[in-house]
Amino acid sequence: MQVRGLPDDPSTGAVSSDTVGIVTMSYSCVLRMVVVMALVLVLSAGSVAAQKFGKISDEEKLLGAPVDYPEANSMIVFDRSEIEISMDNIKINYHTRIKILTPEGIEEVGDQSVSYHEEYDKFKGFKAHTITPEGKKVKVEKSAIFEKTADEYREKTFSFPSLEVGSFIEYRYSVISKRFRYLRPWYFQSDIYTLKSQVAVTIPNGFTYNVQYQNVPPEFRKAELEEKIDVGAAFAGAKIRTFTWTRENLPPITDEPYMSARNDYRSALRFQLQIFENRYNLIKYQKTWPEQGERCQVWLDEYCNKDKEIKRLADEITAGLSNERDKSRAIHAFVADNFRTRNEYHNWYFMHDNIGTLLEEKHGTDEGKNVLLCELHNAAGIPAFPVLISRRSHGQFYSDFAYLPQFDYVIAFVQLGNEYEFLDVSSKFAPYGVLPPDCLTSGGLLVDEENSQLVRIRQKPMYSGRTDRTRVHVAADGTAACTTSCNFRGYYASLYGKRHESNDPDEFATDYFLDKMDVQYILGQHQCELDTASEFVFTMDYSSDELVEQLDENLIVKTVRYAYCSNPFESENRFFPVDFQYPFTYRNVMEIVVEGDVQESVLPQDLNYSCQGATFERKTTVKDSMVVVDTKLIVEKTKFLPNQYQQLRRLFGKIALSSEDEVAFVKAPTE
């Protein structure tokens, strides 16, 4: 299938080239590889010699907080992985040592966990202990080790004993794996400071592989190469080679506001086997994307088992409509309005064994609803295909590596003549053709049997804005009765529509709006709708006796704002970009009406703050005895680099402080 309106090149699903570098290597061209990549050839042993378990050097004993990260509470002294590849299995040896620098560091690193695949991996040789500042070794006992199963993985969690400032925690283990098609990425960076991180791969002749780099500068992509004669090889002169990559002095990557999956920002290396070939054997370890699409199609065909019923339903939904886009909108509205979301995953993406049960029960996973959306479009004569994607919260996917578990979600692609739409029906309050912000990713796999292909998902240029308008009526007794209307457009509408769908209505009103004010309140009526202009509109009434304070003849009224009342950027430093996902405008209008005669109003001063890419302004006016406080935040670009972080942080700090300003009213004295 050739999809109109989409690029032909499968590489368009890849992450941008400034994030990931890919190098494909074969031992048949190792000499050329050395020249091109400027690898350092080291023939002597000891270049990658591991430090002995439990042996702390004098230099390590003296280690303190890094100069470039003095706030560190703990620090990874070294984190090492040694991967040994053979025809029988892949053995991975892990060894990690961490030093505790402050009392807070004890809680930060006192519990550690490791995981492995329950079916294909064997976990061997686990040892862990604490080394006190005096050099005493205290073993992690079996009673401090706990196991649990998460999806296909088994996780071991263990607690270290006898922890104090200056202690080291250390552990090692091995995993023997049969998963030649997938080697887990090596992350050089962690959520604490890393002094040294190293991965070494030992591999015999005959294997072809590739290496992908994520957030690794070119100057650090040079591997040390150590080689020796393979005495067990079938032919003379065969060599075993060890490639070692090392990174040092890496700041932590922690969970922060306005970021996608944390692993997307970490410096990482992905080493994947492609082929093994000698004079007797040819083994392919990796499938192509069309092959993976065919595999997925078989599974989808088994799930979609109600062709006649779906055809009958599609005809009912589109009766009287001739335009394809009108039909598509009707199908989208039908599925969104009539099928509730219950994210219970029994069969990968679905909670039901087949689509017939989804039709009967009228509820299912978001992915199941989107597959139904595709089936109804096809039954109505409109070409539609499921697209597998990796949501932002799950992490970026790598087009060079055809592995389905990279994806965690399904959306729909619909062909409308020479145009197309990516659709999602996870919420009935999300506009047609507007994906949830978490789905604004680089691309995905369009599933169409042997014609399956990678496609780019382009972000639609649209106005995404939110306007909160609150009328505050101040009674004579100082009680404030409030009526609020919140209008969301574009990606804002999709975001808040989805939040309303997945939350209790009362909790939606309190968690996303009223609790932001930090005052006591009584929630009244509230409702929501998706209006004809594709705006998600939420309205609510509430009252509060804490919004107004009476001082003699003066009334002090707090300003009402439901967003950015606190600075989301708490960290003093940030080592990766701030990503707002899409440009947006947030406007908040507060209208204050006070009962009785008012002699004078004392208004907050007008404000105008800005940094490159974002502006904030506030204007206060008096109109017909009503005070209007009008604020507007405009974020014009999606990403702010680390060197822009301090300016952005200061801006949002000022915005947060402005929410504390008040309006004063001087009432006429009573006779």
3-class secondary structure, 65: coil
Phi-psi domain of 291 (left: phi exceeds 0; alpha: psi -120 through 50; beta: other): alpha
Q: At residue 42, does pLDDT exceed 70?
A: no
Rounded distance between C-alpha atoms, residue 365 and residue 301, angstroms: 18
Q: Using DSSP bridges, classify how beta strands 639-640 and 578-579 pair: parallel, antiparallel or unpaired.
A: antiparallel
Architecture of domain 289-456: Roll (3.10)
Q: 39-45+58-284 adopts what CATH topology?
A: Immunoglobulin-like (2.60.40)
pTM (2 d.p.) = 0.86
- List every span in the chain annotated with CATH 2.60.120.1130: 465-667
Q: At residue 469, does pLDDT exceed 90?
A: yes
Rounded distance between C-alpha atoms, residue 155 and residue 175, angstroms: 13
What's the pLDDT score for residue 645?
97
- Per the model's pLDDT, the better-predicted residue between 376 and 25 turns out to be 376
Rounded distance between C-alpha atoms, residue 21 and residue 633, angstroms: 37
Please state the three-class secondary structure of 103-164 as a single string. Answer: HHHHHHHCEEEEEEECCCEEEEEEEEEEECCCCCEEECCHHHEEEEEECCEEEEEEECCCCC
Mean pLDDT, residues 551-558:
87
Mean pLDDT, residues 592-607:
88
22-36, 473-487, 568-582, 607-621: lowest mean pLDDT where?
22-36
Rounded distance between C-alpha atoms, residue 507 and residue 336, angstroms: 22
Rounded distance between C-alpha atoms, residue 390 and residue 397, angstroms: 6
- List every span in the chain annotated with CATH 3.10.620.30: 289-456
Contact between residue 137 and residue 56 where contact means Cβ atoms under 8 Å apart: no
Contact between residue 128 and residue 160 where contact means Cβ atoms under 8 Å apart: yes
Name the amino acid, one letter, at 604. Answer: P
Q: 381 burial class (0-12, 13-18, 19+ CB within 10 angstroms)?
A: exposed
Name the amino acid, one letter, at 523. Answer: L
Mean pLDDT, residues 499-508:
92
Q: Give 255-302 pLDDT, tens digit per residue.
A: 999 999 999 999 999 999 989 888 788 888 888 999 999 999 999 999
Q: Give 88-106 pLDDT, tens digit per residue.
A: 999 999 999 999 999 999 9
Closest Cα partner for 284 from 337, 342, 205, 209? 209
CATH of region 465-667, choose from 2.60.120.1130, 3.40.640.10, 3.40.1280.10, 1.20.140.10: 2.60.120.1130
Q: Give 239-248 pLDDT, tens digit per residue.
A: 889 999 999 9
* DSSP single-letter state for residue 21: E
Place of tokens 């263990």: 158
What's the pLDDT score for residue 667?
78
Mean pLDDT, residues 99-128:
94
